[in-house]
Every structure is written in structure tokens, then in C-alpha cells.
Amino acid sequence: MTEEPICSVRGLEKHYPITRGLLRREVGRVRAVDGVSFDVERGEALGIVGESGSGKTTTAHTVLGLEEPTAGEVRFDGDPVSELSGDERRDFRRRAQLIVQDPNDALDPRMTIGEAVAEPLRIHGLDDADRRRAIVADILERVGLSGDDLDRYPHEFSGGEKQRISIARALVVSPDLIVADEPTSALDARVRSEILDLLDRIRREFDIAVLFISHDLDVIRRSCDRIAVMYLGEIVERGATETVLADPAHPYTRVLLSSVPSLDPTDRELGRPLTDTVPNPSDPPSGCRFHPRCPDVIPPDDLSVPEETWRTIAGFRFSVQAGELPESAVGDRESETPTSGDGDAGGRTATEVRRAVGLSEELRDPEAEAAVEDAAAELAAGDVDAADEILAAAFTSVCERETPAAVARPAGRDADRDATGTVSCLRHGRGGTSEPARSDGDGKNES
């Protein structure tokens, strides 16, 4: 596109300080959004997708100026939002609108919906109450409600109707950008598709750009031209929706895709994360932030075990780190240390621990075997921290050391569209030399 994007975000960071004591000494910071860049072109729908806690909503609020960014810049129609003042700021406030997630708290329970939809007009200076009322009656009809509903209160409407009212309220000031923060996550499937249709219709009819924030890939797939995948405050992959979803390059995108319920049970295996805990954003993992959960984490160079075994080892290691081991894999500290104690009812043996984590067979690599055995023994004795240290020393992946840069997505079946996307994964971008582990993006070779 030659035209300037309506909204352009560069290096956006939003950190929340964790303070303690009377003087509010900073003891740490939650990196909710940590270096995010994207453009929203005029009239396009961009989807930001990620798990809860990935910083999607903070991104949305920062784009709208509801939060001051810690660093980075948001430009709206070419002007930096933080520098706007007076009339320009007011104009931005009119041209960028928000639709919030929960239809139940989107509307003030003490305002009639006529007042609610007229509120933007009122705040932006349309003083003529009769004119406001007429406009609101008209727009309510156009989003599928009745003009007679003006004097009713929100609690008299269903969730889908409330979301229509929210859309009407966002639309009534003729915005150029609508930020829709999980607009359909609280709705059932049929209503959801109606609401998405409505958003799609108004986007095309009035040429409004929509920034979709969602954890639901189906919503994004359905409504968005382009997609950006967020994990722990960073965008890990982006590109045209169809190509990214058909041919995901980042392991996290595959994890998200596989979490979408599918009728084919064999689909799921490829994208299961190693651990389920999303790390704390106040202490994000080093290197690639996804590495402790990544099913595709790169093995150490000196390790000579099959791919499958490596994944089990990595799963073992990061489960220990996250404290997510199954009940049967951790010994009881209080009981007598069962170094070789078969038959000790209270304790566990290293063999049992290994069986519980799926590493009961002896590994071919002697160093790896020794480390796993030692760690299992420590676990059997109940010392999780020692086991963690042993495993961390023995199996250090490059993913922990190096922070991946965004590189162009590998050319898939459709080279034209791929040219726009990027991916931040060492599998794709380590000095441009390494081959992606899976050339086949669908990952069928794994099943």
C-alpha cells in the first residue's frame, strides 16, 4: 500500500512497576508489552492473537492512549498520539473507538441505551438533544435493533444485543479505527458469528480499520486480513491471516492452532506445549521467551539423541523448572532418603521418577543419561531445585541464550503473500543458516 497506515505502532513498551513500601521503591516491573510494532492500514482488519496475559489488551489500551506507553510510539494518521493536544487530541479521541470485551460491563447500567449511544456525540460537542436522539434511533436500527429501544436500560437486552449497542456507540462518531477487544468472547457461537458479520459489514461500508484483539483463532481467521501472534508481550509471528494459519512458522502459533478444537484427534499432538504455565511477565525467560514451553526447542549441539527423546528430556527439564511435575515424580523430603531403597513405602526411587516422566529407557548419550539419572535421584529425594540445576547445566538450548530477531517468514506455497510476514524464532533466523526443523508447516511428519 502506498497510503500511510491509519495507525502505526513502533517499539511499543508498557511496563508496570511493582513497588513496595511507603516510598514506592521499585522492586521489579511487569513487562506487559515489550517492544511491539505493527501497522494498521486504512480499512483493514488486523488481528492480534495470544493467550491471556500475553499483553493484547494492554496493547489495545496503549494504542488508544488509555495508558501511557513506557517506551515506543503510537502514530495515528501520521501524528504521534502522545504529542497531540487540544483539538487534534479531541479529533483522535473521536476517530479511534473502543469496543470492550464483556457486553455486561460495556454499558452503564444506569443509562438508557439511547443515552449510552448518544454519549460519544455528547462528549464530542453535539449539543442538540433532539438531533442526537434521531441519529441514535437511526443507527440502532442499522445495527439490527429497534429505534423504540432508546429508553430501555441495558439489563433488558441480551449479550448479543448489548454488543450491537456497543458497536453502534463506537460507530456513531464516524471513526477511522475501531479497537475491538475480544468483542465476541462472551457470546455463544451463533450470536458471535452475527456480531462478526456486523463488524465486517460496517468495516466495509464505512471503510473503518479494525484492530481485533482475541484469543480465538477462529474469530481472527474469519474476520481479519492480517494477523499478529503475541506471546508474553512480544509479537512472535505476523503475516496474512490465511498463510500464517495454513502454514504457521512459529512453534507458538502451532500451539495456538492445535488448541482449537478439531474433529481429528491426531491433529493435537504436534503443538502441545511442554508446560502449561505461562511464565510470569515480571520475570520473562531469557532468550526466546517461549523456550520453556516450546515443543520445538532447539537441542544443544553436543547432544546426540533422537528428536523425540530430546523433546521428552526438554519436557522433563522445563516441567521441573516450572514445578509442574506429576504427583508420582516427586519424592517426599521428610521421608528417609531412598537412594536405592526399594520397598520404602514413603519415598520414590529414581527409576519410578524416570518412568513417570517418560524417560525410563537408558539414553544413548552417556552425558545426558548421567544428568537425567542424577536429576531423577534428586527428585526422588524431593529436592526439586537441585534437579533443576543439574538439568539446566546439562541441557542448555541455544533458545535460552539468544534472542531471536524477526525474519521474513519462509516462503511457503504462496510466495507472494509470504513476503509480508515475519517470524521471531531461532529455528528460522539464526544467522540465516539453520534450516527450519520442519519444512512442512502442517507438521504431518510428526504424527
Contact residues for other proteins, defined by CB under 8 A: 22, 24, 61, 64-66, 87, 89-91, 93-94, 96-98, 100-102, 105-111, 116, 119-121, 123-127, 131, 134-135, 137-139, 141-142, 147, 151, 153, 155, 166, 169-174, 206
- Nearer to other proteins among residue 130 and residue 301 (C-beta): 130
Place of cell 450470536: 191
Q: Report residue 303 as a C-alpha cell.
A: 547432544
Q: Nearest-CA neighbor of 334 among 388, 382, 385?
A: 382
End-to-end alpha carbon distance in the chain: 40
Write the CB contacts of 156 (distance below 8 Å, at least 6 apart in sequence).
none
Q: How far is the CB of 209 from other proteins (least distance, A)?
A: 16
Question: What value does the CA radius of gyration of the chain take, rounded to a whole number of Å?
Answer: 26
Q: How far is the CB of 80 from other proteins (least distance, A)?
A: 17
- Nearer to other proteins among residue 49 and residue 140 (C-beta): 140
Q: How far is the CB of 171 from other proteins (least distance, A)?
A: 7
- Nearer to other proteins among residue 167 and residue 257 (C-beta): 167
- Nearer to other proteins among residue 113 and residue 381 (C-beta): 113
Q: Report residue 110 as a C-alpha cell.
A: 444506569
HSE of 107, CA atoms in CB hemisphere, 13 A: 31
- Nearer to other proteins among residue 17 and residue 78 (C-beta): 17
Q: Report residue 262 as a C-alpha cell.
A: 478439531
From start to end of 77-136, where are the E strands? 79-80, 96-99
Q: How far is the CB of 216 from other proteins (least distance, A)?
A: 18
Q: What's the rounded Cα separation, in Å, for the pair 363 and 40?
A: 50
Write the CB contacts of 44 (distance below 8 Å, at least 6 apart in sequence).
209, 210, 225, 226
Query: 144, exposed or middle or buried, with CB in 10 Å at 0-12, 13-18, 19+?
Result: middle
Q: Taking the mean position of all CA atoms in its chain, how far away is CA 269?
A: 20
∠ CA 42-44-45, rounded to 5°: 140
Q: What's the rounded Cα separation, in Å, for the pair 272 and 268?
A: 7
Q: How far is the CB of 64 from other proteins (least distance, A)?
A: 5
Q: How far is the CB of 29 from other proteins (least distance, A)?
A: 16
User: Mapping DSSP to helix (H, G, I), strand (E, B) and coil, where does residue 433 land?
Assistant: coil
- Nearer to other proteins among residue 121 and residue 384 (C-beta): 121
- Nearer to other proteins among residue 175 and residue 299 (C-beta): 175
- Nearer to other proteins among residue 94 and residue 355 (C-beta): 94
- Nearer to other proteins among residue 3 and residue 130 (C-beta): 130
- Sheet with 209-214: list strands edge to edge: 96-99, 177-181, 209-214, 45-49, 226-231, 234-240, 422-423, 407-408
Q: How far is the CB of 157 from other proteins (least distance, A)?
A: 12
Query: 395, exposed or middle or buried, with CB in 10 Å at 0-12, 13-18, 19+?
Result: buried
Note whether 345 and 362 are within 8 A (CB): no
Q: How far is the CB of 373 from other proteins (least distance, A)?
A: 51
Q: In one letter, which amino acid is 351?
A: T
Write phi, then psi, for 422 (nearest 5 degrees): -135, 160
Q: How far is the CB of 148 from other proteins (least distance, A)?
A: 9
Q: How far is the CB of 127 from other proteins (least distance, A)?
A: 5
- Nearer to other proteins among residue 98 and residue 255 (C-beta): 98
Q: How far is the CB of 280 from other proteins (least distance, A)?
A: 21
- Nearer to other proteins among residue 200 and residue 442 (C-beta): 200
Q: What's the rounded Cα separation, in Å, for the pair 389 and 185?
A: 41
User: Mapping DSSP to helix (H, G, I), strand (E, B) and coil, where does residue 315 land?
Assistant: helix
Q: How far is the CB of 204 from other proteins (least distance, A)?
A: 14
Q: What's the rounded Cα separation, in Å, for the pair 40 and 33?
A: 18
- Nearer to other proteins among residue 30 and residue 245 (C-beta): 30
